[in-house]
Structure 1
Amino acid sequence: MSSFRSEPFLWIHLTGIVLVPLWLEIVWLGLSIGTPLLWFWLELLLLAVVGILPILWMQLVRPFDIFSILLFSVKPEQLSSEQRQILAQFKTRSHRIVSIITAIMMILILWFLDSFAPLLIPINPWSQGWHLIGLIIAAVSLLASNLFLQVPVSVLRILLSNQASLAATEPLPSDQIAREFTIPGFWIDSILAKEQLG
């Protein structure tokens, strides 16, 4: 078996983490718009429910299928045995633990951003706008930042595991992938040249 670390989809999704700071900056800007409508803890709870809980639920129940790019996903039946072993790693207990820890970290980051949101008011041109719009911007951006953090962290956990552990993993049956994973976009036979060569 070749090293699973040469799987390009792992590295493609790992690089998604570079977008997290950008999305968090937009969350921060959104929180600094207008005057808070509710108690700060209630706003944070609502933001967490909208921006963190859905991605956490996905990762716990139907993890994101990493064999996809943008609007296209590799058909489950086209995945190799090694690729299905990688997918099986997303259904393990350790994956769920890492997803929960990541979600808790995101809640702490949200609290931090909200605490320091007043610092942006002097430089935010929309600071006098409607706070509800700011909350919507913050919620959508938090959802995106959570997605671009959860998936790379899960991929990193796999990259840090050893070859023997993956080799001992039972490949996930192709006919289970569609109901066990969140598969975005259109299904196609191949995305990367490596798959065509394999």
Structure 2
Amino acid sequence: MSSFRSEPFLWIHLAGIAALPILLQIAWIGLAVGDPLPGYWLELIFLLVIAIAPISWMQWYKPFDIFSLLFVAQRPELLTPEQLKILSLFKRPKHRFITVLGTVLMIAGLWKIYQIAPIATPAAAFLPQWRIIGLLIASLAFLASHLFLQVPLSVLGVLFTKNEQWEKTEPIPVSNIAQSFTLLGIRVRKILPTLVS
């Protein structure tokens, strides 16, 4: 019997961490556009509300369903018992600790990037120098970067599950998936080809 760690969706979403540096760089350039508002804390609150809070809330209450890619999601009723057990692992208390850790890392990253944003002014010179445009670019980039941090972190939490814990894990009922997980995209019968060992 193959290990649950060989599930392709786990590795695909773990690889998403590679997008994090690019997205943070886009956010950095966005924050270099225009002159900061007189009350810098207003900009930070805006970024926290738009970019940090939604992903933290999602991962805390309704974690991202990893059996999806881009704009398609595998229909819950077609998941295998092993995949349903994997989803159960995302609902452990450990997952919420990981969510808090990811949120703290993103807030620290936001604060640091905000401080060094003026260094990126030459790179942002090609954009219209309206602060609102820069904030919108930064907020969208931070939102995406937060997602591409939280999901791989939660996947790592699953991959480091001990075999004994895996054996004790019960599959999540299919009827609970829609209310327990965030499913994005069109529901399809299959996304990845079946791997034959």
User: What is aligned with 1:2?
Assistant: 2
Q: 1:132-176 deviations in whole A, cap 9, x for unaligned?
A: 110011001100101111111100111111222112111100111
What displacement does 1:51 show? 0.3
Distance 1:131 1:148 in 2: 25
Q: Secondary structure at the match of 2:73?
A: strand
The one-letter amino acid of 2:148's match is: F
Taking a change above 3 Å as real, the CA distance of residues 38 and 47 of structure 1, as seen in their structure-2 partners, is farther
What displacement does 1:185 show? 0.8
Distance 1:31 1:64 in 2: 28
Instruction: Confirm or deny: 8 A CA contact 2:85 2:172 kept in the other structure.
Output: yes
Say what the alpha-carbon RMSD is for the aligned residues: 1.6
Structure 2: gaps (5+ residues): none
The one-letter amino acid of 1:125's match is: A
Instruction: Confirm or deny: 8 A CA contact 1:34 1:127 kept in the other structure.
Output: no
Distance 1:145 1:87 in 2: 22
User: What is aligned with 2:31?
Assistant: 31
User: What is aligned with 1:122?
Assistant: 122
Q: Secondary structure at the match of 2:194?
A: helix
Instruction: Confirm or deny: 8 A CA contact 1:32 1:127 kept in the other structure.
Output: no
Instruction: Confirm or deny: 8 A CA contact 1:121 1:127 kept in the other structure.
Output: no
Does residue 1:132 correspond to 2:94, yes or no?
no
The one-letter amino acid of 2:49's match is: V
Structure 1 segments of 4+ aligned residues over 2 angstroms from their partners? none
Distance 1:115 1:42 in 2: 14
Instruction: Confirm or deny: 8 A CA contact 1:4 1:163 kept in the other structure.
Output: no
Q: Secondary structure at the match of 1:144?
A: helix
Taking a change above 3 Å as real, the CA distance of residues 33 and 5 of structure 1, as seen in their structure-2 partners, is same
User: What is aligned with 1:98?
Assistant: 98
Q: Structure 1 length normalisation: TM-score?
A: 0.94
User: What is aligned with 1:43?
Assistant: 43
Instruction: Confirm or deny: 8 A CA contact 2:29 2:123 kept in the other structure.
Output: no
Does residue 1:159 correspond to 2:159, yes or no?
yes
Structure 1: gaps (5+ residues): none
Instruction: Confirm or deny: 8 A CA contact 1:14 1:151 kept in the other structure.
Output: yes
User: What is aligned with 1:65?
Assistant: 65
What displacement does 1:41 show? 2.1
Taking a change above 3 Å as real, the CA distance of residues 164 and 30 of structure 1, as seen in their structure-2 partners, is same
The one-letter amino acid of 1:88's match is: S
Instruction: Confirm or deny: 8 A CA contact 1:33 1:126 kept in the other structure.
Output: no
Distance 2:123 2:54 in 1: 32
Q: Secondary structure at the match of 1:187?
A: strand
Instruction: Confirm or deny: 8 A CA contact 1:3 1:163 kept in the other structure.
Output: no
Taking a change above 3 Å as real, the CA distance of residues 6 and 181 of structure 1, as seen in their structure-2 partners, is same
